[in-house]
Structure 1
Amino acid sequence: MAINNKTTAILLVVYTVVAGVIVVAELQRFDHQPTKADGSLDILVVGDWGRRGLYNQSDVAFQMGKMGDKLDVDFIISTGDNFYDDGLTDDEDPLFVESFTEIYTADSLQKQWYSVLGNHDYRGNVLAQLSPALKKRDSKWLCLRSFIVNSGIVDFFFVDTTPFQDKYFTEEDHDYDWRGVHPREEYLSNVLKEVEMALEVSSAKWKIVIGHHTIFSAGHHGNTQELVDQLLPILEANEVDLYINGHDHCLQHISSENSQLQFLTSGGGSKAWRGEFNEWDPNQMKFYYDGQGFMTLRVTEDEMSVAFFDVFGDILHQWSTSKYTHTDS
């Protein structure tokens, strides 16, 4: 079934144990096919950025623009915390233009942005940030809770991670907009079922999952135990290649000890430099940088590579892996 870059819904059939009941869940899917002749994809990844250009946000954006032009990027991924400190007030909030449209001005960045919500976004008007009205204000914007982007050889699974953290439901210092989340247990159950079924039916050679919160991190926030317990087993069972997140304001690469899964943090879009690092197994900790920057991702039929850049555009870390298709002679 052709999708032609329009939103559609996947009907994912989930079989429950109780009386053989069939529950049908829906997850939005977007088609974003490669435009390069060789079928490769080049993507920029940035998170934790929306501060009206402050805290070096504008400098990171400038370097992103230069790299985007060099690579002829296909699209940009935002790992959440898109607008600080408390999301958007409504779909006419000037913060949207001041922190997004007026900052990411390079021609190479006028591509589609696929964004997830972060915990700071949930402190504002969530429905405003999800509103189609924002796309009318800036056509490159797209933000949803959980969804899929199909890009030929790779499927991207975007997951709404904020409702998984227990602490946000007991905090007294901040208010969160949980419209669309309550009842919470049902919401989380559906998210996990949707992601699991989507991964199971995916025929893509590469599978990449994006969420705002860390699964593993040596940074300020550390591991997100709720995701370790609930989401990680699904990713491992379905041979996911990358889990990409923000939340910790750093750049980071941790390798899994149980599978091929790599944990990549790109949360250096603006305010960083917390000066915190938790000890980690050096065999798993491939790279950690407590500063501003962004990440590039290149995917081809047989290889996938990532690179991290600082606010000056210098390469800090590179990593690649191969997955060759074997044919019978």
Structure 2
Amino acid sequence: MATAAAMGRVVEERGADFVLALGDNFYYDGVRDEWDPRFQETFERVFTAPGLRDLPWFVLAGNHDHHGNVSAQLAYSRHSERWHFPHHYYSLRLRVPGTNATARLLVLDTVLLCGSTDDFGVGATPGGPADAAAAKAQLSWLRGRLVAARHDLYVLVAGHYPVWSVAEHGPTTCLLRLLRPLLRQHHVTAYLCGHDHNLQFLKEDGIGYVVSGAGNFMEASQIHKAAVPPGVARFFFGAPESPGGFVHLRLDASAATVTFLEATGRVLHHVALPPRDL
């Protein structure tokens, strides 16, 4: 509730065109069907601030969503004007304000790509995709979309599992192997994720890695700090007494500006990523 209220204030102060939900939308076991009361109890009746009411939400699935019925979350798009979940993975073309330039947001299902995890063991990692052919198809789709985005001023990729993280779950081995080389090859601006319950900014080879998993739980562990290359981890916030936090991302002609905010409204960290060299 605190995070939702703060998001509403930030939308009014800083502006926003949409909200991006980075997975684990419903703890602990997703939803049963498209009529599940959780859609009302923890979405429609929570994110009610004036600034949020009319914004579209673009959604992806996390491991806890896959413990339930992800197809029901897709189907709920028919029942809500602001819940947009068109496919397990999809692409959004964005206009960069004040320019003729475009940006691209590529939304992934990292659980289908890498497999599920029970999420409760320190360092618990996905055990491999349940459907290897479907994982291969998603990766092929991503490669094609990254090639097609070569003229976009910014390219953002979003998924639930982190590539890099110093926290409880740490780096995702599958994504280091499959996704990290593609992000580097195609000069992606940033990778956005959740899963670990804190706020982090990491940077490697010019790519920003944004972890925004602090909408509810907050965890202070940095147990995987040694698993991240030296100098890559730039910011971490996971104070257990905090009411939560989130990230505001703004694209304009000069930079992709990433602002980490606590649910109190306090600005925790601020970074600017340059446009891609086209």
Q: TM-score, normalised by structure 2?
A: 0.86
Shift of 1:72: 2.2
1:127 aligns with 2:71: yes
Q: Give the one of 81, 106, 112 matched to 1:157.
A: 106
Structure 1 counterpart of 2:187: 239
Structure 1 counterpart of 2:123: none
Rounded Cα–Cα distance in structure 2 between residues aligned with 1:211 and 1:255: 17
**What does residue range 258-297 of structure 1 map to in structure 2 within 5 Å?**
259-280=205-226, 283-291=231-239, 292-297=244-249
1:305 aligns with 2:252: no
| Structure 1 residues 73 and 166, CA gap change in structure 2 (3 angstroms) | closer
CA deviations 1:130-157 (Å, max 9, x no partner) are 11xx234321001231000101221000
Counterpart secondary structure, 1:120: helix
Structure 1 counterpart of 2:203: 255
Shift of 1:231: 1.2
Q: Give the one of 270, 274, 277 matched to 1:322.
A: 274
CA deviations 1:24-79 (Å, max 9, x no partner) are xxxxxxxxxxxxxxxxxxxxxxxxxxxxxxxxxx0011100000111221111010
Rounded Cα–Cα distance in structure 2 between residues aligned with 1:99 and 1:157: 26
Rounded Cα–Cα distance in structure 2 between residues aligned with 1:125 and 1:119: 11
Q: CA RMSD in A?
A: 2.1
Shift of 1:325: 7.7
Structure 2 counterpart of 1:103: 46
**What does residue range 110-259 of structure 1 map to in structure 2 within 5 Å?**
110=53, 111-131=55-75, 134-143=76-85, 144-152=87-95, 153-166=102-115, 168=117, 184-202=131-149, 203-256=151-204, 259=205
Rounded Cα–Cα distance in structure 2 between residues aligned with 1:254 and 1:288: 9
Q: For the Cα contact (< 8 Å) 1:287–1:317, is it kept in 2?
A: yes
Q: For the Cα contact (< 8 Å) 2:261–2:269, is it kept in 1?
A: yes
| Structure 1 residues 148 and 212, CA gap change in structure 2 (3 angstroms) | same
Structure 2 letter corresponding to 1:201: A
Rounded Cα–Cα distance in structure 2 between residues aligned with 1:213 and 1:325: 27
Rounded Cα–Cα distance in structure 1 between residues aligned with 2:179 and 2:18: 26
What is the count of residue pairs matched by the alignment? 255
Q: TM-score, normalised by structure 1?
A: 0.73
Ranges in structure 2 where 5+ consecutive residues have no aligned partner: 96-101, 121-128
Shift of 1:304: 1.2
Query: Greater relative contact order: 1 or 2 (C-alpha under 8 angstroms, separation 6 or more)?
Result: 1
Shift of 1:127: 1.0
Rounded Cα–Cα distance in structure 1 between residues aligned with 2:25 and 2:116: 20
Structure 1 letter corresponding to 2:209: F
Structure 1 counterpart of 2:21: 78
Shift of 1:185: 1.2
Q: For the Cα contact (< 8 Å) 1:302–1:325, is it kept in 2?
A: no
CA deviations 1:71-122 (Å, max 9, x no partner) are 2211110100000110001111001110000000012112010110000000
